[in-house]
A and B are shown apart, each in its own frame.
Chain A
Amino acid sequence: MAVGRAIEGVGGLFRDRPRPTPDVIMFVLTAGLLALGTVMVYSATHVRLGAETGDPTAAMRRQMLFAGLSLAAFIAGSMINYRRYRRIVFLIYGVTVAVLVAVLFFPPIQGASRWIPLWSFQFQPSEFAKVALVVVLAGFLAVRPSERLDWKRLGYALALTAVPGYLIFRQPDLGTMLVIGVIAIGILFVAGTGVKQMAVLLAAGVGGVTAVLRLDILRTYQVERLTGFFDQTADLQGANWNLYQSQIAIGSGQLFGRGLFQGTQTRLNFIPSQTSDFIFTAVGEQMGFVGGAAVIIVYAVLIWRILMVAAVTSDRFGALIAVGMASMLAFHVFVNIGMTIGLVPVTGLPLPFVSAGGSAMIAMAGGLGIVNSIWRTRTPARPGGPAP
């Protein structure tokens, strides 16, 4: 627990401030990532959109709109006292599951039923389900004051996770299903799961993955992505095309990058899904190692801030929410950036706040807003003091 104490130590610098203030660093970094995403989406789309529709800024304007809504979601999340969610966790859970069931009945887009059309937008419930599950699991596991979880409660928690996980798998959206699992593991770990229980969970996890691979439950493209990952020189035109092109783009950025709006790979559309899952290739090519590393550091600081909230709050519910959010953010960043540089298999997860895609941005910004709300109310209000 040395690191934990170290974090608490740093957090202690702020602990005795008389008035709970919002976490300015968290807000500024989130806004910075949203701005970066807008610029990167423009750099990757303006040539094609200009040529095809005469409106080079269309994708960027959409991204700006989502960025604005995300900031609003952050502020809204910050303003609402997160403790109120505790009383309605099962309502939140019920609505989430209902929407995840509903989405399966909408017409599939490119073979996946992930979206519900809303005016000219595509609402993606699974993105909000991740945040909702963090709150629900935190609420369910924070009821016990003791450090240990019994098997029964662990079983319930797993069941709570499995239902949305299965529904998302049915869409199918393997990446998001994995996020759901990681959130659960992160929260369970901090909520006091014992070593024996963890070992059983891990064994079950490994068994599950093996079964999935063996039993033909995965679609062919999913298997190809996985096997392709283990032999990255095979099938460069097919399954490994994205990975190959994305490494070319990032690699060619070298130390300082090719300069904003200068990367040939980004401008000329070599990389499929570049504005969504592969947005980091635009960062890597145009801004180089310096830019890419800076982005990773920004995420590191964000995760550090969230974990510190978990460390300093006196409320167990808040601490578990923060841990869940940190797990979710870290997993997204690791898998997304990792896949563009050949570190993990290609999985369709957005880079938080940077990738195009409104639902993910807004949901995650709202999630960080909740964390900020925990930070603002981390110490109980003192009698006569200002309201938290």
Chain B
Amino acid sequence: MGALALVFTGCLALLFIRLWFVQLAVGAEWARQADLNIVSVDSIAAPRGDIVDRNGIPLATSEPHLILEVDRAVLPLEVEGDVIQRLAAILDVSPTEVRKEVESAGSGLVATLTEFQIDSDTAYLVLEQRPNLPGVRLRTLPVRGYLRGDMMGHVLGHIGLPSLDDLEDQPWLDTNTPVGKLGVELEYEEFLQGTPGKVAYRVNPDGDILEEVGSLDPVQGSTLWLTLDVSTQEVVEGVLVEALDLANTLKEEDTDRVLPPAERAAAVVMEIDTGAILAMASHPGFEPQAFVGGIDVATFEELSSRQAFNNLVIQGLKPPASTFKVVTYVTAMEEGVFPQDVSSPEESIECSPQLAADFVDASQLVWRNWTYPESDGRQNLHEAFRRSCNVYFWEIALSIWRKYARTEQEGIVQGWAREVGFGRDTQVDLPFENEGILGDRQLFEEWQRNQPWRVRKEGWQGGDLMNLVVGQGSVLSTPLQLAVAYASILNGGVVYQPRVADRLESSGGDRVRTMERRVLRTIDIGSETVESLRADLAAVVESGTARRAFEDMGPTAALIGGKTGTAQAFTDQDGAFHDATAWFVGLAPIDDPRWVVAVMVDEGGSGGAVAAPAARAVFQHLFGQEVTPLVAGEDTER
């Protein structure tokens, strides 16, 4: 064992001697090497790609801003106080402010002094004083600029520093470079972010740059061309504000009741043969610029309390009400289901003030039409559609129930609804889309298992189907889903993916990617049905529930077809009264439709009175007419 001890002693002695040699005999040379060895690699942030409208009008750009950085790893602690004093003098602010900013980064880290505006004079002073400002650097940083205030806020979205989740998913992200958080800023983040550059310097321990070792220029992100059109968007956003004013004026005129004010509205304009969205507006909105450099908590909370970040076009779920009747209409025509004793769309029944259903289940038995206590006369399918007669459509539901209850065929209306896009996402190229709800026996059974408070224990009943065929009860959809449904039926059965982005180009102008129009699915729908519906949609505007709303448009009104909708007012669980939701979905030119316009005014009252006039103003713009002020249309359907 002594020998072993000797071996160990020898080994440790060797370490000792070698350590002495490395650190003391030649240590000075190594120390000199260490001084040469500090290579500082700086990342150069890439400017985010621009965002422009379909005509190239810039919406969001990247502007270089000068900022100051203090590298606390390089700034010796003994002189930190002096450096802060000097910086404060140059920036003409108090040393306490500068200290606060510098200390916002931990010791040994780089503090970015974004608080202070650096103009070229200040920059010059900093450069001149450089020897007295160890660790202080000037840097240009590209900063996002939104050029049009809150316009298209929901489509553009906003940026923000990456969250911990973002960093986990994409570990290569720089913690100081903002990323897209909402809208196309998020959806197209990978194209917009660009590629950061790098520059490597050899620096001495004081941080003085001895030489540049190498560099790589940053590459700006791609330019995103939207399908949206600034002029149409401007009109649509303005019309929504006007529609809310109109709704609230009507409420004030109503002396019988005190109604809650309308505060939210949304509208979308889409090309029916491509899925390209021309305008998408949701009110209230926000200014994306508020998020650049970090949004303050008070502003954020105020905006979120008003749900200003919600894009109601893709997230606002409401009962589509009578606008859903197109689905029931198509089902009736395609499946040949009509009210009892009626065998063709031309045969009429009495649109009575109320209907007594012969259910033996837990369903409601007496159903009142919106004209109650008046009768609306004898009507066939076309007339019932034009006058939005609920009784006729309820009779269709009753026929389905009598014939098909508890069979496969029971869900034929929902089958058509799902085909045209209800209860599923539209796959629009924007994040956080809401897919809505489309009720049927299966969904109710699922809810009874998972969320029993949502449905009564008896499950799916005939009354639920009656509600559904007129767009009430267990059907909830977004304005975009309605636009897609109308577009797909009226273009003959092609469901396109709605989209806000047209193409991506590199900052040099090369095409990076084109978002081709994309067919999601095709629906087998008879051309007779489409033709018949087209004529009836035109009749709604010509002589139906939307007639008065389009009067101001003059003869051009003949080119419009559409459908009003008014979702029932209700009192929620907390006892708060919610006024009816006003809807209008229109198409033009109705002979060979090109655009679909969907307007939703939350708690706006009647669709004919409020939403249809708003759509009229949008069509005026699309036809190049002067956009006239909104005037209330006919108060229908409630």
Contacts and interface: CB of A to CB of B under 8 A. Distances in A.
Interface of A: 1-5, 7, 46-47, 50-52, 54, 56, 186, 189-190, 245, 247-255, 261, 264-265, 267-268, 270, 284-285, 288-289, 292-293, 296, 299-300, 303-304, 307, 310-311, 323, 326-327, 330, 333-334, 337-338, 341-343
17 contacts: A3-B5, A252-B27, A252-B33, A254-B28, A254-B31, A264-B37, A267-B108, A270-B37, A289-B20, A289-B24, A292-B23, A303-B8, A323-B4, A330-B8, A334-B12, A341-B15, A341-B22
Contact of B23 (A186, A189, A250, A333): A250
Contacts of A46: 106, 108
B73 interface: yes
A56 B4 contact: no
A337 B15 contact: yes
B11 interface: yes
Given A330-B8, A330-B11, A343-B15, A248 B1 contact: no
Contacts of A289: 19-20, 23-24, 27
A235 to B, nearest CB: 17
Interface in B4-53: 4-6, 8-9, 11-12, 14-16, 18-20, 22-24, 26-31, 33-35, 37-38
Contacts of A52: 175
Contacts of A307: 1, 4-5, 8
Contact of A254 (B14, B15, B27, B35): B27
B506 to A, nearest CB: 30
DSSP class of A's interface residues: helix, strand, loop or mixed? helix
Nearest to A254: B27
B12 A251 contact: no
Nearest to B20: A289
A330 B20 CA distance: 19
Interface residues of B, number: 37
Contacts of B106: 46, 50, 56
Interface string B174-207: 0100000000000000000000000000000100
Contacts of A254: 23-24, 27-28, 31
Contact of B73 (A3, A190, A267, A343): A267
A338 B18 contact: yes
Given A4-B1, A189-B4, A292-B19, A333 B38 contact: no
A284 B11 contact: no
Contacts of A303: 8, 12
Interface of B: 1-6, 8-9, 11-12, 14-16, 18-20, 22-24, 26-31, 33-35, 37-38, 73, 106, 108-110, 175, 205
Contact of B22 (A189, A304, A342): A342
- The 3 A-B pairs of least Cβ separation, nearest first, read A251-B30, A4-B2, A252-B34
Nearest to A330: B8
A188 B8 CA distance: 16
B8 A251 contact: no
Contacts of B8: 300, 303, 307, 326, 330
Contacts of B28: 254
A265 B37 contact: yes
A251 B22 contact: yes
Given A248-B34, A250-B23, A342-B18, A264 B5 contact: no
A50 B109 contact: yes
B4 A327 contact: yes
Chain B facing A: main interface SS: helix
Given A51-B110, A247-B22, A341-B19, A253 B73 contact: no
A296 B37 contact: no
B109 A47 contact: yes
Contacts of A327: 4
A285 B18 CA distance: 15
Nearest to B171: A52
Nearest to B11: A334
Given A52-B175, A343-B18, A189 B3 contact: yes
Contacts of A265: 34, 37
A334 B15 contact: yes
Nearest to A290: B23
Contact of B31 (A50, A252, A292): A252
A47 B4 CA distance: 43
Contacts of A296: 12, 15-16, 19
Contacts of A189: 3-4
A267 B6 CA distance: 38
A162 to B, nearest CB: 22
A325 to B, nearest CB: 12
Nearest to A1: B2
A254 B24 CA distance: 5
Contacts of B16: 293, 296
A3 B6 contact: yes
B27 to A, nearest CB: 4
A376 B624 CA distance: 100
A7 B23 CA distance: 32
Given A245-B37, A265-B37, A292-B19, 11 more contacts: A1-B2, A3-B6, A250-B23, A253-B27, A254-B31, A293-B20, A303-B8, A307-B4, A330-B12, A334-B11, A334-B12
Contacts of B3: 3, 189
Nearest to B38: A264
Given A311-B1, A330-B11, A255 B6 contact: no
User: Which of B2, B23, B26, B31 has the most A CB atoms < 10 Å from its CB?
Assistant: B23
A260 B416 CA distance: 74
A300 B12 contact: yes
